[in-house]
Structure 1
Amino acid sequence: MRTKALLSLCIIPFLLFCSFPMTALGADEKEENDWNDEMIYFIMVDRFFNGNYDNDYEVDTGDPKAYHGGDIEGVIQQLDYIKSLGYTAIWMTPIMNNEPKGYHGYWIEDFMEVEEHFGTMEDAKRLVEEAHKRDMKVLFDFVVNHTGYQHAWLEDSNKEDWFHEEKRMMGESQSVLENAWLAGLPDLNTENPEVEQYLFDAAEFWIEETGVDGFRLDTVKHVPKDFWKDFNDHVKSIDPDFFLLGEVWQDSPREIAAYEETGIDSFVDYPLFNAINESFKKAGNSLNGPMSVWKANEQLYEEPGMLSSFIDNHDNVRFTRKAIENKQNPVTRWKLALTYQFTMPEIPITYYGTEVPLDGGEDLDNRRMMNFKAADEELKQRIEQLTSMRKEFPALTKGDFEELYNEDGLAAYKRTYEDQTLVVVLNNDVETRTMELDNLPQDKQLRGMLTDDIAREVDKGTYKIAMEREQSEVYLVEENTGLNWSFLLFVGGIFAAFVVAVIILSRKSRKN
């Protein structure tokens, strides 16, 4: 009996503690969703997941240039997995019918038919339907610059003027970029009204047949701006909310910004990609690059927050490989880079396998088959934390961006939206660092949402923060709770009662 009584007394304080009302970190209710709020998971269809073995024609997983079996059904089966990571949209490489060995989707043979290795039109429709059931959006990759190497139109005498004259891509003049044959691929003459109309019809076909939410536009700089203006007008006459994400592969922000006049909603931010990779591939590197790119974007774009950030993709060496080559822990490097990407004002795109993290060098090595059994739990947890924060706090998707500190690999910046303020701290240095941040709201505290750190005010509007090497934190500026004396007294009283009860029982036990 005495033992049971002692156990009961031990349990009571903890039950009371757990039942005490706790206030969670909150946020204002978000405004109606738009693409600023989206987080995109980028999938190379053939290399993601094999959901239907019946369409495995000439699959050879040992040949990096062959089909490996991934298909639309595989994407459908993994939608719950992608959603569990927190992503709200997917972008898929082209699913149009390709010529042999076109596993990547960019050697198109028929612009209005699904590649048989990937499934059927019914599968494409069902994919969009299933994504929408999960409140997820879908982007199809759309190609207008070229066809496959052996397209039937090349032998059609009625379509001789559907292609530009064959010539190698030599130089960077606009004429060369827009008329030469990229990688030897037949270059479509989009200035020809018949070609333009065919491509408009193809776009309309996919929108109306599948209900897809947007296109990622391949090789934008290789097609005249006038075509893109008309293309934008056409697709938005069908669906005013249709989203266009353009690839202008340029290192200069100014060159990319020049395409904003076409009406394309967003562009993948190659200058930021270069800067993120250079800074975060190794501890001790400066963070000046990513910060300066954003400052340039603010000056050059009407809507810089509508750009789309990425850390690696199907055309470049995987970030994991860069970390390994620099003798770094890839998971540590990824956590820092992702924290920056998801807390700065652009739409984040994550290449499939980042959560593993997949390794890979140059093409074709950067397109390995996804390994769902090898995902790193620490990295997955960080991704889930970051996607959750972007959903909860509009300051991360709509807020202003202000740099607070940036010196020798240690940086801090503030995101503010209405009455909500977040402070992000990144320590890319090789040792623990401290800083004092000023010009912040007074009489508040900074509560960390990644590690539960608390930073308190040391002077009016000034807060001191210590950050371990290669670590980061996202702080919410909130009311200063200080020490919660009523709560501490409550818990202390329960504990004191518990101690007294134990003493009394012990004395009774000795007397007996």
Structure 2
Amino acid sequence: MKSLSWLVSSLMVAGSSVGTAWATDYQVRFAEGELPAVSFEQQGEQLQAVVSLEKQRYPIFIEGSGEDCAWGAAPDTKVRFSQPLALEKCGETALELNIRFAGDYLLTLDSSAKPLTVSVARQAKKSTFKRTPPAVECIAWDGQPVTVDVSSVFANGEMVKDFYSGETAKVAQGKVTMMPAPESGGLLLLEPAGAKASEFHWDNASVYFVMTDRFYNGDESNDYPLGRRADGEREIGTFNGGDFSGITQKLDYIKELGMNAIWVTPIVEQIHGFIGGGEKGSFPFYGYHGYWALDFTKIDPNLGSEEDFGRFVDEAHKRGIRVLVDTVINHVGYPTMLDMQNAGIDAIPKNAPVPENWHEWQPRKERSENWHRYNDYIRWNHGDWVEKWWGPDWVRSGMGGYTKPGADDITMNLAGLPDLLTESTKHVGLPPILKNKPDTNAVEREGYTVLDYLVEWHTRWVRDFGVDGFRADTVKHVEPEAWLQLKESATAALAEWKAENPDKKVDDAPFWMVGEVWHHGVYRDFYFDNGMDSLINFEYADASDAVRGAQCLAQNDAIYQRYADTINSDDSFNMLTYISSHDTKLFFSNYEDIPLQAGAGSALMLMPGGVQLYYGDESARPAGPLTDAFDSPTRSLMNWEQLDKQPERQALLKHWQTLGQFRDKHTAVGAGQHKVISEQPYAFSRVKDDSRVIVVYAGQRQ
């Protein structure tokens, strides 16, 4: 009997429009009838299936649901591996796969081809090597009920509830004995039975960080505006379809995670064209992430309309979720050929090998060109760059006629990006690229500096839509006074919006701002005197602390004590701790261990101060393709399909939901005083005003 095992790639996000919407389901039928048919699944713009085949011949047909006959071999067809093979509709001849080496074979179907084509390629054998985290010492648990002294928080006779399992117990002689839920990882989350939710406080913030383009596609009609396009390959640097409508559709999911704030990547209109991606220019790279602005006054159409954005904010507020918008005032986006053509920058020689529509340029493989090659065709000292681009009053750049970049954090061209002159006191008009842009909302102001314009443009989203806060990008690359001006303006704008929209506001909390200062740890400095309420805490994820805490919660004892003593004893600052981000790494990709990911959730969600979940932390989102761009693996599509189909990921999600809801309910978790009650089992209390909880960790199950 011939053996057949198969698996289908599950990286395609349900609802995403990375590729074609397939009207027909296809399958491979083995002509001899001894093997079951194998279905194709969508992967990017193609349909793919992986089958394990033995050494022999396999006659096959391709069948589509709703089609009255199969696709067979076209006349004179001979299978050449890794080459598209034309098929014939209602062909009577089977396509014969002559397998000489047993193994896994990838079948790729392209229905956009006329006629239909299929290609077959042998897959390289995957390594079975799996990294394991370094072993840590941990207290042991025998799997029996746990007794803990709770007298410092709960009174004798008081009923206490384990939030995780829902079980209750009465405090007797200052103690309770309870059994951790099997799926809790040895946790008890103790609260007063019948406890009500605390009032929200930013010191206990739980922020869900969404890279909008990679999260969920709620509107396929906006997938490729402004001349943007798919690359037909791995789509790692292209827009993938996520939008505000998609986030809106998933707000209940985010609310169920216990999140009380959403941070979205920058919303403003990005450069229209592409640059070369990675060190080797191996792919076209668009501004899908939002950090390469072209027009700060417009919503990027790939993300939706202003109406879509307003609906998202309103619906989030209805669920008690605050909205943070990522804000960039340090730089603008790179120059691209498409934007040059739109702006009339005639800086490409007439004889250059560039098509009439510049955005259609592609590297010529026969000449071993890569996606960086187009830069060689551009005359960077051409006068049009001064007259028609941003202009030397607005940015510093290495191009002719511009202020040259400096060597310090404030005046450098970070990653080669044009640096905005936020420190300039010169009164300026609009930059040429916006002054001549027909659809901009930018208005020239008398007596404005560059910073004045940027502050007006960014606070407009607060004043018009009720945005609750900013995540400030590249903070150390902008002078502190600029952030203070932005914060003060945004604070006034939000107060104005709340006064005009009392039925839409979540609460009366003031505008909030968290900053990214690369590699900043848990300490207070001058940034908090210049607009920042919080900073992102890099130290927990940078070190091995997160891995140790994920394996054994008791390993976090010193961290919890230090963070609580540092942050919660000073109301003038806070920190936002994370385990994964778009610029660093995915925690799950280190070891691809779902139980470890659950432990990471326990350790993070019980952290003093604020916490940030990067989309997919809760679902063990796999990393994207490894490329010569360091950050592309961290920006993979949200793994909705895996969540739908895999019980182990559904259980992981439930674990994160329980922890998130517990944290959201009790302000003391993030903002309370931390006190260790017991070393074995490891137990600590968190108390702030009327909010009081005890967390018990029984230890590693023996």
Q: TM-score scaled by structure 1?
A: 0.70
Deviations 1:415-455 (A, max 9, x none): 123465433345xxxxxxxxxxxxxxxxxxxxxxxxxxxxx
Is 1:232 aligned to 2:516, yes or no? no
Instruction: For residue 349 of structure 1, give the secondary structure of its aligned residue in structure 2.
Output: strand
Deviations 1:138-162 (A, max 9, x none): 1111110000011879534783122
In the TM superposition, residue 394 of structure 1 has moved relative to its aligned partner by: 3.2
Please say if residues 329 and 454 of structure 2, whose CA atoms lie closer than 8 Å, have aligned partners that are also in contact: yes
The residue aligned with 1:149 is: 334
Q: 1:395 aligns with which of 662, 665, 668?
A: 668
**Paired amino acid for 1:359:** P
Relative to structure 1, is the Cα distance of residues 68 and 271 closer, same or farther in structure 2, using a 3 angstrom cutoff?
A: same
Q: 1:294 aligns with which of 550, 558, 563?
A: 563
**Paired amino acid for 1:279:** R
Relative to structure 1, is the Cα distance of residues 39 and 192 closer, same or farther in structure 2, using a 3 angstrom cutoff?
A: same
The residue aligned with 2:219 is: 52
Higher mean Cα deviation, 48-57 or 232-241?
232-241
Report percent identity of matched pairs.
31
Please say if residues 212 and 244 of structure 2, whose CA atoms lie closer than 8 Å, have aligned partners that are also in contact: yes
In the TM superposition, residue 280 of structure 1 has moved relative to its aligned partner by: 3.8
Q: 2:321 aligns with which of 125, 133, 136?
A: 136
Please say if residues 577 and 610 of structure 2, whose CA atoms lie closer than 8 Å, have aligned partners that are also in contact: yes
Q: In 1, Cα distance between the equivalents of 2:204 and 2:239?
A: 34
Q: In 2, Cα distance between the equivalents of 1:184 and 1:175?
A: 12
Structure 1 residues 253-272: aligned runs within 5 Å = 253-254=522-523, 257-272=525-540
Q: In 2, Cα distance between the equivalents of 1:282 and 1:30?
A: 30
Deviations 1:120-170 (A, max 9, x none): 111111111111222221111111000001187953478312223549xxx
Gaps of 5+ in 2: 1-167, 171-190, 274-285, 344-383, 400-405, 426-448, 496-509, 644-648
The residue aligned with 2:206 is: 39
Instruction: For residue 307 of structure 1, give the secondary structure of its aligned residue in structure 2.
Output: strand
In the TM superposition, residue 217 of structure 1 has moved relative to its aligned partner by: 0.8
Q: In 1, Cα distance between the equivalents of 2:252 and 2:685?
A: 33
RMSD, aligned CA: 3.2
Relative to structure 1, is the Cα distance of residues 205 and 343 closer, same or farther in structure 2, using a 3 angstrom cutoff?
A: same
Please say if residues 607 and 669 of structure 2, whose CA atoms lie closer than 8 Å, have aligned partners that are also in contact: yes
In the TM superposition, residue 301 of structure 1 has moved relative to its aligned partner by: 5.8
Q: In 2, Cα distance between the equivalents of 1:293 and 1:55?
A: 47
The residue aligned with 2:613 is: 350
The residue aligned with 1:503 is: none
**Paired amino acid for 1:307:** M
Q: TM-score scaled by structure 2?
A: 0.52
Is 1:335 aligned to 2:598, yes or no? yes
In the TM superposition, residue 318 of structure 1 has moved relative to its aligned partner by: 0.5
Please say if residues 27 and 393 of structure 1, whose CA atoms lie closer than 8 Å, have aligned partners that are also in contact: no
Q: 2:685 aligns with which of 368, 389, 414?
A: 414
**Paired amino acid for 2:695:** V
Relative to structure 1, is the Cα distance of residues 323 and 374 closer, same or farther in structure 2, using a 3 angstrom cutoff?
A: same
Is 1:181 aligned to 2:434, yes or no? no
Please say if residues 49 and 75 of structure 1, whose CA atoms lie closer than 8 Å, have aligned partners that are also in contact: yes
Please say if residues 252 and 271 of structure 1, whose CA atoms lie closer than 8 Å, have aligned partners that are also in contact: yes
Deviations 1:363-407 (A, max 9, x none): 101111112122212211111211221233332143102345679
Relative to structure 1, is the Cα distance of residues 32 and 284 closer, same or farther in structure 2, using a 3 angstrom cutoff?
A: closer
Q: In 1, Cα distance between the equivalents of 2:556 and 2:199?
A: 33
In the TM superposition, residue 289 of structure 1 has moved relative to its aligned partner by: 6.8
In the TM superposition, residue 243 of structure 1 has moved relative to its aligned partner by: 1.5
Higher mean Cα deviation, 41-50 or 61-70?
61-70
In the TM superposition, residue 349 of structure 1 has moved relative to its aligned partner by: 1.2
In the TM superposition, residue 113 of structure 1 has moved relative to its aligned partner by: 0.5
Deviations 1:332-384 (A, max 9, x none): 22222222222222122111111221122741011111121222122111112
The residue aligned with 1:250 is: 519
The residue aligned with 2:695 is: 424
Q: In 2, Cα distance between the equivalents of 1:205 and 1:229?
A: 17
Q: In 1, Cα distance between the equivalents of 2:198 and 2:558?
A: 32
In the TM superposition, residue 214 of structure 1 has moved relative to its aligned partner by: 1.3
Pick the structure with more helix per residue. 1
Q: In 2, Cα distance between the equivalents of 1:296 and 1:222?
A: 30
Please say if residues 229 and 262 of structure 1, whose CA atoms lie closer than 8 Å, have aligned partners that are also in contact: yes
**Paired amino acid for 1:233:** E
In the TM superposition, residue 85 of structure 1 has moved relative to its aligned partner by: 2.2
Aligned residues: 396
Structure 1 residues 76-95: aligned runs within 5 Å = 76-95=248-267
Q: In 2, Cα distance between the equivalents of 1:103 and 1:97?
A: 10
In the TM superposition, residue 250 of structure 1 has moved relative to its aligned partner by: 1.9
Instruction: For residue 594 of structure 2, give the secondary structure of its aligned residue in structure 1.
Output: helix
Deviations 1:150-207 (A, max 9, x none): 187953478312223549xxxxxx9611110111001111112411111111122111
Relative to structure 1, is the Cα distance of residues 181 and 285 closer, same or farther in structure 2, using a 3 angstrom cutoff?
A: farther
Q: In 2, Cα distance between the equivalents of 1:80 and 1:340?
A: 24
Q: 2:455 aligns with which of 191, 200, 203?
A: 200
Q: 2:650 aligns with which of 355, 372, 377?
A: 377
The residue aligned with 1:75 is: 247
Relative to structure 1, is the Cα distance of residues 367 and 32 closer, same or farther in structure 2, using a 3 angstrom cutoff?
A: same
Is 1:274 aligned to 2:441, yes or no? no
Is 1:313 aligned to 2:581, yes or no? yes
Relative to structure 1, is the Cα distance of residues 195 and 346 closer, same or farther in structure 2, using a 3 angstrom cutoff?
A: same
Q: In 1, Cα distance between the equivalents of 2:527 and 2:243?
A: 33
Q: 2:300 aligns with which of 86, 95, 115?
A: 115
**Paired amino acid for 2:261:** A
Q: 1:365 aligns with which of 596, 608, 633?
A: 633
Deviations 1:75-133 (A, max 9, x none): 11111221222222211111211113101110100001011111111111111111122
Relative to structure 1, is the Cα distance of residues 182 and 160 closer, same or farther in structure 2, using a 3 angstrom cutoff?
A: same
Q: In 1, Cα distance between the equivalents of 2:660 and 2:547?
A: 24
Relative to structure 1, is the Cα distance of residues 185 and 405 closer, same or farther in structure 2, using a 3 angstrom cutoff?
A: farther
Please say if residues 208 and 262 of structure 2, whose CA atoms lie closer than 8 Å, have aligned partners that are also in contact: yes
Q: In 1, Cα distance between the equivalents of 2:652 and 2:525?
A: 33
Please say if residues 41 and 82 of structure 1, whose CA atoms lie closer than 8 Å, have aligned partners that are also in contact: yes
Instruction: For residue 256 of structure 2, give the secondary structure of its aligned residue in structure 1.
Output: helix
Please say if residues 40 and 91 of structure 1, whose CA atoms lie closer than 8 Å, have aligned partners that are also in contact: yes
Q: In 1, Cα distance between the equivalents of 2:655 and 2:577?
A: 18
Deviations 1:251-299 (A, max 9, x none): 4444x63311113111111123324434246669954773476268449
